[in-house]
Structure formats: structure tokens, C-alpha cells
Amino acid sequence: MAYIITSPCIGEKHGDCVDECPVDAIHEGEEQFFIDPDVCIDCGACEPVCPVEAIYQDEFVPEDEQEFIEKNAEFFR
């Protein structure tokens, strides 16, 4: 997985990241958006446009947000 969307997205879902993604890798879940690791090209276009700063490269996800790595993977299973 290249990028992970974390808890600040829950209940917000602004969608700026969806509009910015050049490969349509971001999908809407019930509470938040998720990034498809099989489609994401690791371009990083989504990260700076997120108004709630919820998007991180997987290796930079804060410790208190680590559960979202698995939550993202589970969404696409």
C-alpha cells in the first residue's frame, strides 16, 4: 500500500482527493474514503489536497492511526 486515509476523514469525506487522483484509486466507504493499493500509482497527488490532513504514505502513518493500514486493506478484500 502506498497511501492510507486515516481517522480525520471519518464523517468528513470532502472528496478533494477523489477529484485529484489520476487513476481513480480512491473509493468511498460508509464512513470514509479508501485507497485501492492495486490501483494507486504512488504519485502523492491526493495527500496535499486533503483539507483534513488524513492521508499519509504507509510508512509515515502516525502510531495512533496504524489500525487504518489494516482497515484499508480489509476494505478491498
**pLDDT tens by residue, 25-64:** 999 999 999 999 999 999 999 999 999 999 999 999 999 9
23 pLDDT above the threshold of 80? yes
Please state the pTM of the whole predicted model: 0.94
For position 1, what pLDDT does the model report?
Answer: 58
The average pLDDT across 8-36 equals: 96
The rounded distance, in Å, linking the Cα atoms of 38 and 40 is: 6
The pLDDT, as a whole number, for residue 8 is 97
The answer to whether residues 5 and 68 touch, using CB atoms and an 8 Å cutoff, is: yes
HSE (side-chain half, CA atoms, 13 Å) at 39:
12
pLDDT for 2 equals 84
